Structure 1
Amino acid sequence: MFVNVRWRLCCILPWEVRFLLLLTLVGERVEGQIRYSIPEEMKRGSVIGNIAQDLGLDLKRLRSGHARIVSGENIQYTELKTDKGILVVNERIDREQLCGDVTPCSFSFEIILENPIELHRVTVEILDINDNTPFFPNKDVYFEMSESATVGAKFPVESADLDAGQNALQHYVLSPNDNFILKQHANPDGSKYVEMVLQKPLDREQHPHLSLKLIAVDGGTPQKSGTVNIDVTILDANDNAPVFSQSVYKESVMENTMKGTNVITVNATDADSGSNGVITYSLSKMKGSAADIFSIDENTGLISVSGQLDYEKDRKYEVRVEAKDQGGLTGTSKVIFEVVDVNDNPPVINIMSFSSPVSEDAHPGTTVAILNIKDADSEKNGQIRCSIDGTVPFKIESSLTNYYNLVSDQHFDRESVSEYNITITARDFGSPPLSSSTKLHLKISDVNDNAPVFDKNSYSAYITENNSPGFSIFAVSARDSDWNQNARVSYLLEDVQVNGSPVSSYVSLNSETGVISAVRSFDYEQIKELQLVVKAQDGGSPPLTSNVTVKILIQDQNDNPPQVLYPVQTGGSMVAEMVPRSADVGYLVTKVVAVDVDSGQNAWLSYKLQKATDRALFEVGLQNGEIRTIRQVTDKDAVKQRLTVIVEDNGQPSRSATVVVNVAVADSFPEVLSEFTDFPHDKEYNDNLTFYLVLALAVVSFLFITCLVVIISVKIYRWRQSRVLYQSNLPVIPYYPPRYSDTLGTGTLQHVYNYEVCRTTDSRKSDCKFGRAGSQNVLIMDPSSTGTMQRIQNEKSILDEPDSPLEVRRPWFGSEKAALRSGPYRDRRKHPVHRAEDRQRDSSRERENRPRAALWRHNTM
């Protein structure tokens, strides 16, 4: 935007009116530049123009953008009032001091605004006012002229005035005389000089001395004038004035020429002889800096450099050389010195604006800094190439003249690079080139663009059961590559259900450290593992999160003693196992079955015989708990045998349980009853023992008869069914006995095995045969043989295979005995599980005469 204010005011208007009219002249905005024209010598605080209005900005924008004047060699002359949006005079401006004879006279500066960054150039033109009276350097001018001076001889007179333009010197007036007239000339730069021309020969005899007045008049309103006295002394005849070989001399001089360097020699000749032909040279009085730059040898006319040349200040010098003879005649010539530029000024870098830190989510093309780069040299020496050293994501873009923008060239990532050291180099095109550099330290501010990351994809932790509440189990750790608050990680426990209860009722999580602690004591037998989800959340806005799964495994402790399942220990009754006196060595009396709810080696059980009525008769299997005879039973052995078996687990320390096994060595019930009536029961017997024995016998007899009837009925029914199956060729339905406890370490058989039990009247010779899962074994009763059972297979018997399952002997369990009392197998010979070995080892006569095993219970309550 350019605003030109021109002074074309009538001379009759007062100064104050002209000044107010000047301030009302404002142009329009064009391309971010405005121009004002003001007169010189304005008072401090005088308004130059309304910046806000001319730039189309409001006062709030000026204040928020921190509008300020940032450059310009003469910025001290102006001041920006952001609160009013006006530009005012800050210091008195003297156009003659500022610009001298240069026309037009102006100075420029820039106004910068931030957030967003804006740059505007302002040019202020200083208009001349007629404030200087034409002034001659000397009040008196002296001339010595020969009377023989020819008509038309010229005598130069010093110039006057300091103003410019219309107010500059317009013409000269010479006081009336008969000998001289004035002749005005104009220099190429517009300045004027005057010469007195002799129009009538001088006559020393009539007028040996002439006194004249030269008046210089300017073009101001009102006009001003200056006067100088000219004293002319008429000398005796000297008819020829010195004449230069050239009217104008031209010479080029390098601006770095040293003082004392000879530049050019001027030459003038005088046709006179003698002293009138002796010439001396001198430089006419010069204004400006030329008087300090050059000097001349008065005898030889050699002009040399006596001062410091500076192309940036003055590119051309004009000096006038005078040649004067002894008779007082002079000749003049002009010498023009053109200063040749040398690349002696490096570029000057000024940082107008710099934004640091810059957000890491700033888009490419964001302006980071505005630079003003100037080179005082000219042409190629003043042309600038701006570049960035190294590899950084920035580039330089040119905006206004001598202004460059530092802009981002790609997206930032603070986590990769948090700050940049940017070196900007400005280099000119001189030979050799000169350069200057400046460094900018730019920081990248963080944006919450990274979620916390756990150091593992999942965690596993172990804790031993029976822990104390508050025990620290494990600590999760997550890190966030952001910075400050955005990298502050807190931990949260996801609300999940464990066995129908919230996970917070089992563990707690420290939100700062990530330490997981137990809220209560764990029981491995109730819960074996916890699976929870931990969330890491940073402190950004909005926050970012990530999850990880933590599995807490409960480790077992040996905190449970073994539990005896069989034989059942009751407080008011006594259970006895019957062993026939014909039992051989290794006869299986019974089996102690125990379990341990612990796991691992804490559940590995071992059985030991602690006490026995006769230790030489019985032994207990260390691993399976089977009680067997270790010698042949004799008639001398006591009927009543009491064994105390201790069951120990393999924990550290181990735990144990004790079970008492009562064994009756007899072949018939009466013998058992007669002997066990006197069986002590540790103070549990009382005076009503006989009553309870009679009652027990009555109940047992009744149950026995009932079971016998039921067994016979079921046997007849099955016999008929089997006959029907044989005769009808119908597919046989498999029979799978119930699953019993295992005889191995933990006390249970694998449920994938089906097995059939063949029981003889001799439990020592009873055995269990296990078949592979899914084998088609069919158990049917053989009507042709009393108390026996045949096994019919649709395929090859697994017992005939070399790799068939082992035959495992098993005890006579209390549950089986109860089934015998109430089921079809009350007679042990008829039970299908005692068939296999009897068929191989016993004869038919021995099977028919073998006594039946019975379970006798005697109540002591």
Structure 2
Amino acid sequence: MRRAFNLLVFQLLFLYQSEAQIRYSIPEELKTGSLVGNVAQDLGLDLKRLRSGRARIVTGENIQYTELKADKGTLVVNERIDREQLCGDVTPCSFTFEILLEKPMELHPVTIEVLDVNDNAPTFQNTHLEFEISESAALGSRFVLESADDADVGPNGLQNYILTPNDNFVLKQHVNPDGSKYAEMVLQKPLDREQQPRLSLKLLAVDGGNPQKSGTVNINVRILDANDNAPVFNQSVYKATVIENAPKATYVVTVNASDIDSGLNGQVTYSFSKSKAGIADLFNIDETTGRIYVTKEIDFEKDKKIEFRVEAKDQGGLTDSSKVEIEVIDVNDNAPVINVMSFTSPVSEDSPAGTTIGIINVKDLDSGENGQVRCAIEGGVPFKIKSNVRNYYALITDAALDRESLPECNITVVASDAGSPPLSTKRTFNLKVSDVNDNAPVFPRKFYSALAAENNSPGISVLSVNAKDPDENQNARVSYILQECEIGGSPVSEYVSVNAETGVVSAVRSFDYEQIKELVFTVKAQDGGSPPLSSNVTVKIMIQDQNDNPPQVLYPVQTGGSVVAEMVPRSADVGYLVTKVVAVDVDSGQNAWLSYKLQKSTDRALFEVGSQNGEIRTIRQVNDKDAVKQRL
């Protein structure tokens, strides 16, 4: 029992595909597993698309009644459906839900109409009705009978009343504006208590099903004497309004009937008519004054308009009835409800602005402005919410994300209605931002320098370089690499090494200041991302001189074991320059500063050496007594 429904197609801003609505009609009480319809065929989708899109039923009321068989593309009954339990007397009876597919996102509303079957017989609230009617009751007097309730609707609902044949009464049936039926007994022949003080009748209520079902109530009529005027209401319809959730004892309306009889026969009492069950749970009527009060909170979402009949009865048993129509006024007593359709976390920090991270559905059971909902995001977070499709909203990024400055974020969605005062609901989503390798390692300095003494031990640590990477995990794992270059014609790796993990720079060999005085090279810091990012820093190691070289005498030149001879005339004056000792030291600084002193001399009183310049001069005049050879 499936019928196709015209597809309504419109563009969703935040969904990738159009929305197609399908409708099925099924009878109630189908067995679990019964076929509802072929969703794949009716939506024009293949089974592969249903599986890849993770097709599933999402929000909607009563979604437990059906199940989507994604492997077959069919919709089947998942739970027994009782139309009366689902919709009561509302017709047509249906419920709606959505089928959601992903990659790309698609949303397809589905409406299931539940058709009535004749599974309920008409029933009366009471098994017996008692009437006390005066024998003087005028012909045409009316007596309202209890209405039968039939949970079924349409042809399967209550169709007709039948009164057992009798001489005094005929049955007259009426239809209320809401379609419900009630019956009255109308007196067509005067009553005679002396001939027949009691009447026993049966009222039969039948529906229109096949096979037909019925219910029966027994009517006992006791004939009274001498009350020949029935009460008469001053209005045929009483109209009133009541605010939903009005407190107990709230006044609603007053009904009034008058009886022109006198004494006890003219005293009128009021009660709810038997024509509608359950009214006594919501209202109370003062039997003396006819004032009607609230006895239980009324829910606008269940009852927007309440109709019932009231009965005026005099002491002689004569009655009249009138209808009461009460319009329920909605108040803002339902906060919006936020349902999460999907939410993606974590989201990559390189996601562009406008990326959809979640879809929510927001509903408010109130009506009018009380049910109009708007959504917003609290705080200054880089996200926004958009919607132009019914009650669905998309959470999207409003700016580029940076995990290093915002590794995670709480997104609080506030749904508020337009009531006065407004009601609101909050829902917080915790979004984590996943890392991408978008930061190269950074050295805290542009240049590193260190001193290293020559004649060092190979393997000694000279300095340490250190780079930081604000990314995380592998993207932040830094390795240090010595960049190839040459120093003095040799690869830099023959002089120093860099620990790949710690950045410690160590000497590979013993340095000789006299050969090389500084090392300038580059160290690269590279992270573990894919592709990796890197940065370089220049390192300068200055070799410190050690006093590891003795002075060398350049002049006078001494060869072998020969003695250098210098000639001094005997006529030489004081301060005569005999010779100059010239020496050098390949060390540097103070290690190369030279001083000269006379170590041995034949005659210490004759010669001296300049401590700074190495000049050997006479310090007195040479005389004949001085030895011809002087050894210095």
- With structure 1 as the length reference, what TM-score do the two structures score? 0.69
TM-aligned CA deviation for residue 330 of structure 1: 0.6
Hey, what does 2:574 align to over in structure 1? 585
Distance across 2 between alignment mates of 1:335 and 1:439: 48
Matches within 5 A, 1:228-243: 228-243=217-232
1:266-292 C-alpha deviation (Å, 9 max, x unpaired):
111112223322212110236564331
Hey, what does 1:504 align to over in structure 2? 493
Q: Secondary structure at the match of 1:552?
A: strand
Structure 1 residue identity aligned to 2:171: L
Moved more, 352-361 or 54-63: 54-63
Q: In 2 relative to 1, CA 287–398 (structure 1 residues): closer, same or farther, beyond 3 Å?
A: farther
Distance across 2 between alignment mates of 1:245 and 1:438: 55
TM-aligned CA deviation for residue 59 of structure 1: 4.4
Q: Secondary structure at the match of 2:155?
A: helix
Structure 1 residue identity aligned to 2:140: G
Structure 2 residue identity aligned to 1:254: I
Contact 1:28 1:54 in 2 (8 A): no
- Percent identity among equivalent residues? 73
Q: Which residue, out of 593, 608, 623, partners 2:612?
A: 623
Distance across 2 between alignment mates of 1:483 and 1:150: 97
Q: Secondary structure at the match of 1:641?
A: coil
Q: Secondary structure at the match of 1:473?
A: strand
Matched, 1:226 2:210: no
Distance across 2 between alignment mates of 1:633 and 1:60: 123
Hey, what does 2:466 align to over in structure 1? 477
Hey, what does 2:509 align to over in structure 1? 520
TM-aligned CA deviation for residue 399 of structure 1: 4.7
1:729-787 C-alpha deviation (Å, 9 max, x unpaired):
xxxxxxxxxxxxxxxxxxxxxxxxxxxxxxxxxxxxxxxxxxxxxxxxxxxxxxxxxxx
Q: Secondary structure at the match of 2:567?
A: strand
Hey, what does 2:394 align to over in structure 1? 405
Matches within 5 A, 1:295-334: 295-334=284-323
Structure 1 residue identity aligned to 2:326: F
CA RMSD of aligned residues (A): 2.4
Hey, what does 1:787 align to over in structure 2? none
Matches within 5 A, 1:214-613: 214-285=203-274, 287=276, 289-613=278-602
Hey, what does 2:68 align to over in structure 1? 80
Matched, 1:141 2:94: no
1:94-153 C-alpha deviation (Å, 9 max, x unpaired):
111221111111222334445555444332221111112222333343433333333333
Contact 2:147 2:274 in 1 (8 A): no
Report the structure, 1 or 2, having the larger helix content.
1
Contact 1:27 1:54 in 2 (8 A): no
Hey, what does 2:16 align to over in structure 1? none
Q: Which residue, out of 154, 170, 177, partners 2:159?
A: 170
Q: In 2 relative to 1, CA 54–521 (structure 1 residues): closer, same or farther, beyond 3 Å?
A: farther
TM-aligned CA deviation for residue 57 of structure 1: 4.5
Structure 2 residue identity aligned to 1:79: E
Q: Secondary structure at the match of 2:264?
A: helix
Q: In 2 relative to 1, CA 552–81 (structure 1 residues): closer, same or farther, beyond 3 Å?
A: same
Contact 1:26 1:49 in 2 (8 A): no
Distance across 2 between alignment mates of 1:64 and 1:552: 62
TM-aligned CA deviation for residue 254 of structure 1: 1.5
- With structure 2 as the length reference, what TM-score do the two structures score? 0.92
Contact 2:145 2:274 in 1 (8 A): no
Q: In 2 relative to 1, CA 591–60 (structure 1 residues): closer, same or farther, beyond 3 Å?
A: farther
Contact 2:348 2:433 in 1 (8 A): yes
TM-aligned CA deviation for residue 77 of structure 1: 2.1
Q: Relative contact order: is structure 1 or structure 2 higher (C-alpha 8 Å, sep ≥ 6)?
A: 2
Distance across 2 between alignment mates of 1:327 and 1:577: 172
Contact 2:522 2:536 in 1 (8 A): yes
Contact 2:440 2:534 in 1 (8 A): yes
1:472-493 C-alpha deviation (Å, 9 max, x unpaired):
0010110011122211111111
Q: In 2 relative to 1, CA 143–52 (structure 1 residues): closer, same or farther, beyond 3 Å?
A: same
Q: Secondary structure at the match of 2:564?
A: strand
Q: In 2 relative to 1, CA 26–300 (structure 1 residues): closer, same or farther, beyond 3 Å?
A: closer
Give aligned pairs, total: 622
Distance across 2 between alignment mates of 1:450 and 1:52: 47
Structure 1 residue identity aligned to 2:93: C
Distance across 2 between alignment mates of 1:503 and 1:176: 124
Q: What residue ranges of structure 1 are gaps of 5+ in the alignment?
A: 1-21, 644-861
TM-aligned CA deviation for residue 354 of structure 1: 2.3
Contact 1:216 1:227 in 2 (8 A): yes
Hey, what does 2:13 align to over in structure 1? none
Structure 2 residue identity aligned to 1:110: E
Q: Which residue, out of 46, 69, 74, partners 2:34?
A: 46
Of the two, which has the highest radius of gyration?
1
Contact 1:133 1:226 in 2 (8 A): yes
Q: Secondary structure at the match of 1:608?
A: coil
Q: Secondary structure at the match of 2:451?
A: strand
Structure 2 residue identity aligned to 1:44: T
Matches within 5 A, 1:124-203: 124-160=112-148, 161-203=150-192
Q: In 2 relative to 1, CA 56–542 (structure 1 residues): closer, same or farther, beyond 3 Å?
A: farther
Q: In 2 relative to 1, CA 126–334 (structure 1 residues): closer, same or farther, beyond 3 Å?
A: same
Contact 1:608 1:622 in 2 (8 A): yes
Q: Secondary structure at the match of 2:113?
A: strand
Matches within 5 A, 1:10-21: none
Q: Secondary structure at the match of 1:96?
A: helix
Structure 2 residue identity aligned to 1:33: Q
Distance across 2 between alignment mates of 1:29 and 1:413: 41
Structure 2 residue identity aligned to 1:575: V
TM-aligned CA deviation for residue 208 of structure 1: 4.7
Q: Which residue, out of 94, 101, 112, partners 1:106?
A: 94
1:568-626 C-alpha deviation (Å, 9 max, x unpaired):
22115443122222222222222111111111111111111111122222221211212
Q: What residue ranges of structure 2 are gaps of 5+ in the alignment?
A: 10-18
